[in-house]
């Protein structure tokens, strides 16, 4: 039977984990003061008064550069376990990693051709 006494601690732990976020948000909603005003709605830029409109358009290249960095940063995380157990895995794992690196190189070439890695084309904001 699934609901036997050996799972009681699991269900209590699950109940506590599910109840903590709503409880934390409700406590801050009731305890925190709410003062609305123009200072509260103004954008904050390191103590400097903002110049111009706060809703400006950013180039997609900023996000593309961050995305390419994240992809290749995660790639190294996936290669570490493979490198530590290379001797035990054999030829099949070696071929899989070669395919994985090939797919990443294709993605890098695509991003390079699109100009996602060139800072010189990014406008100064």
Q: Which of 121, 125, 124 is nearest to 61 (CA)?
A: 121
Comparing 113 with 55, the larger pLDDT belongs to 113
Give CA–CA dist 39/32, Å, rounded: 17
- Whether 85 maps to a domain, the answer reads yes
- Whether 35 maps to a domain, the answer reads no
- Whether 6 maps to a domain, the answer reads no
Q: Per mean pLDDT, which range of 36-50, 60-74, 91-105 is the poorest?
A: 36-50
Residue keyed to tokens 């009731």? 30
Cα–Cα distance list, 38 to 44, 46, 100 (Å)? 12, 17, 53
- pLDDT mean over 59-75: 78
The reported pLDDT for the residue numbered 19 is: 95
The reported pLDDT for the residue numbered 17 is: 94
- Whether 79 maps to a domain, the answer reads yes
pLDDT-derived band at 46, boundaries 50, 70, 90: low
Give CA–CA dist 42/49, Å, rounded: 9
Q: Which of 56, 59, 75 is nearest to 119 (CA)?
A: 59
Question: Is the CB of residue 111 less than 8 Å from the CB of residue 65?
Answer: no
Tell me: pLDDT of 44 over 50.
yes
Determine the straight-line distance between the first and last CA of the chain, rounded to whole angstroms: 62
Question: Is the CB of residue 122 less than 8 Å from the CB of residue 61?
Answer: yes
How many domains, in total, are found in the chain?
Answer: 1
The reported pLDDT for the residue numbered 43 is: 65
Q: Is 48 helix (H, G, I), strand (E, B) or coil?
A: strand
Q: Range of 76's domain?
A: 60-121
- Whether 100 maps to a domain, the answer reads yes
- Whether 22 maps to a domain, the answer reads no
Condensed to tens digits (0 to 9), the pLDDT of residues 69-97 reads 888 888 888 888 888 888 888 888 889 88
- pLDDT mean over 87-114: 86
Kindly report the pTM of this predicted structure: 0.46
């Amino acid at each position: 039977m699934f609901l036997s006494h050996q799972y009681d601690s699991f269900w209590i732990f699950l109940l506590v984990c599910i109840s903590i976020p709503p409880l934390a948000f409700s406590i801050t909603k009731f305890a925190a003061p709410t003062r609305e005003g123009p200072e509260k709605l103004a954008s904050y830029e390191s103590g400097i008064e903002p110049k111009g409109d706060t809703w400006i358009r950013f180039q997609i290249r900023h996000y593309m550069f961050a995305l390419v960095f994240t992809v290749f940063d995660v790639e190294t995380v996936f290669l570490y376990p493979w490198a530590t157990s290379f001797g035990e895995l054999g030829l099949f794992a070696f071929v899989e990693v070669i395919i994985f690196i090939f797919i990443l190189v294709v993605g890098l070439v695509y991003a390079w051709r699109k100009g996602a890695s060139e800072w010189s084309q990014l406008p100064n904001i």
